[in-house]
Structure 1
Amino acid sequence: MPVNDRNGVKVWQRRTSRESLLLWCGWLIGVAAFVWCWQQISEATTWFFVFDAPNIAGDIWRRATPPKWEYITKLGKPIWDTLNIATLGTLISLVLAVPVAFLAARNTTPSALFVRPIALLIIVSTRSINSLIWALLLIAIIGPGVFAGVVAIAIRSIGFCAKLLYEAIEEIDATQVEAITATGASRWQVMVYGIVPQILPAFAGIAVFRWDINIRESTVLGLVGAGGIGLQLSSSLNVLAWPQVSLILLVILFAVVISEWVSAKVRGAII
């Protein structure tokens, strides 16, 4: 902004004195918070183990290589369970997320005062808790196994899918909806012929994207007993079978790369 110098000539400055003072105060508070946090972390850290970490990592690397390739015959069913957990969990979440999204969107909710806040609460609550925590809770309720993993993935994915979908619903072209409404169509007909065709590409993209994410998340659910290849990983880690661990990690990496390739191809075809 322009200010006057001693000669009365206006000189442009980026910030006023008050804005500069507030900026420096903000930096001072940020640096002080960083120093305090670092001090707390330092007091709770055993630095001997940190400095010795390269030696430990090298020792584990030597123990884990080469991978135990003959163990791969026992990983077929676990990786298949992992794919099923991700796929079924994604399908269930999509079925549940669609009505939640329509209830949360401003232009389709039956009540912006009562129904929409409830739908938004469902979206926030399911997204705020990690799938591992959902799996721990569900294992305590329904027992360990693949079914607990499927339900955990489904609950975790509802909020993600519903949020992106209701944002897509709110961004549709209103003129198409108005044109169908002007013909005397019912509310359901307007939704089926005016709204759904506009959000189908977004829905397909969200479904594939979430399935890709769920492949990654389902690989670790077995660490808490929710089935899949993570269960094999947990068992191998417990007995320090590092060659098996390295092979399992390679299989997980291969599965994630394949899912990423499939996801990219499908999204490219849709878009």
Structure 2
Amino acid sequence: MTQTLPREWAHRAPAQRAILWLGWFALVALFVWCWQIMSQDTIWAFVWDAPDQALDIGGRMMPPKWGYLPQLMKPLWDTLNIATLGTIGGVIIAIPVAFLAARNTTPSTTFLRPIALFIIVTSRSINSLIWALLLVAIIGPGLLAGILAIALRSIGFVGKLLYEAIEETDARQIEAITATGAGPAQVLTYGIVPQILPAFWSISVFRWDINIRESAILGLVGAGGLGLKMNASLAILAWDQVVVILLLILATVVLSEWVSAQVRKAII
């Protein structure tokens, strides 16, 4: 009578281990290939000299030119207006788009929903800086181009999160209101809107917080705000002014982050 030895336990079968190692090898090969493509035109002398250049620029930034700060108040106000008005415009457009994109509220899943989803994807695929470049070329430089760029970028962000919130509403509440004989408008007003209202305000405030950061650089392409001053200071190599602008942007972003957190805490 032959004795059967117990089989040694293994986390993966030999074939699975071979496939796993093959996958890792392919990943490393892909990384090396991508690295060669990205670095083939790199001038490595500039890369090795980068720390010295960074120290040199950092030295020119000190001390900051605090006397330049009063000249930044109007561009800062413009930046806040770009972010706020752009957010409001984007939210207004995103609301109907979100209801058309949600499966449980769209009038047509075969026609209107794909159109709404296409609008959301298009808005989210193009960065606000690219929107600003296009709008500056179309309507000229200024605050209007910045506001529209922020609005067009906000539609996709707000629309996507909002339509997902609409689809996640409790169907039992909607069924209860429908059972009372309520019409579509009443179901929407009393069954869906109260459920998504906290998410709506939270999404809107969060997007406003993001838009303040994005609107601060739109002036680099002529859309007004602090970015316009930044571009002018960089053009004349006024690094002591650049550091003041950067610190002001940092302080504004930190303050907007605090305001956004407090508002979301109060809502949720």
- Aligned: 1:199 with 2:196: yes
In structure 1, what is the equivalent of residue 168 of structure 2?
171
Distance 1:8 1:138 in 2: 75
Residue number in structure 2 paired with 1:189: 186
Cα 1:193/1:48, change in 2 over 3 Å? same
Match of 1:52 among 49, 52, 56: 49
Question: Which residue pairs with 2:35 in the alignment?
Answer: 38
Query: Aligned partners of 1:112, 1:10: CA distance in 2, in Å?
Result: 55
Distance 1:119 1:16 in 2: 47
Partner SS for 2:89: helix
Superposed CA deviations along residues 49-81 of structure 1, whole A, max 9, x for unmatched, are 111111111111111111111111110100000
1:243 aligns with 2:237: no
- Per-residue CA distance 1:119-175 (angstroms, 9 max, x = gap): 110100000000000000001111100000000000001000000000000111111
Flag as ranges the 4+ runs of structure 1 deviating above 3 A.
Answer: none
Shift of 1:13: 2.3
Deviation of the 1:115 alpha carbon: 1.1
Please give the residue correspondences for 1:63-78 in structure 2 after superposition, counting only pairs within 5 Å: 63-78=60-75
The answer as to 2:96 corresponding to 1:99 is: yes
RMSD over aligned Cα atoms: 1.1
Is residue 218 from structure 1 mapped to residue 238 from structure 2 by the alignment? no
Shift of 1:239: 0.5
Q: Which amino acid in the other structure matches residue 171 of structure 1? A: E
- Between the two proteins, the alignment pairs up a number of residues equal to 266
Confirm whether residue 134 of structure 1 aligns to residue 134 of structure 2.
no
Q: CA deviation at 1:20?
A: 1.5
Query: Where does residue 224 of structure 2 map in the other structure?
Result: 227
**Normalised TM-score (structure 2):** 0.97
Q: C-alpha distance in 1, partners of 2:112/2:7?
A: 56
Partner of 1:88: 85
Q: Point out where structure 1 has 5 or more consecutive residues left out of the alignment.
A: 1-5
TM-score calculated relative to the size of structure 1: 0.96
Q: Sort the Cα spacing of 1:183 and 1:23 in 2 relative to 1 into closer, same or farther, 3 A.
A: same
Letter of the 1:17 partner, please give it: P
Query: Which runs of structure 2 are paired with 1:133-172 in the superposition (5 Å)?
Result: 133-172=130-169
State yes or no: 1:118 paired with 2:115. yes
CA distance in 1, matches of 2:7, 2:174: 55
Residue segments in structure 2 that go unaligned for 5+ positions in a row: none
Tell me the secondary structure at the aligned position of residue 16 of structure 2: helix
Could you tell which deviates more after superposition, 38-47 or 183-192?
38-47
- What secondary structure does 1:52 align onto? helix
TM-superposed CA distance for 1:10, in Å, is: 4.0
- Partners of 2:4 and 2:49 in 1: CA distance: 64
1:208 corresponds in structure 2 to 205
SS in 2 for 1:12: coil
CA distance in structure 2 between the aligned counterparts of 1:155 and 1:18, rounded to whole angstroms: 50
1:8, 1:94 → 2: CA distance?
69
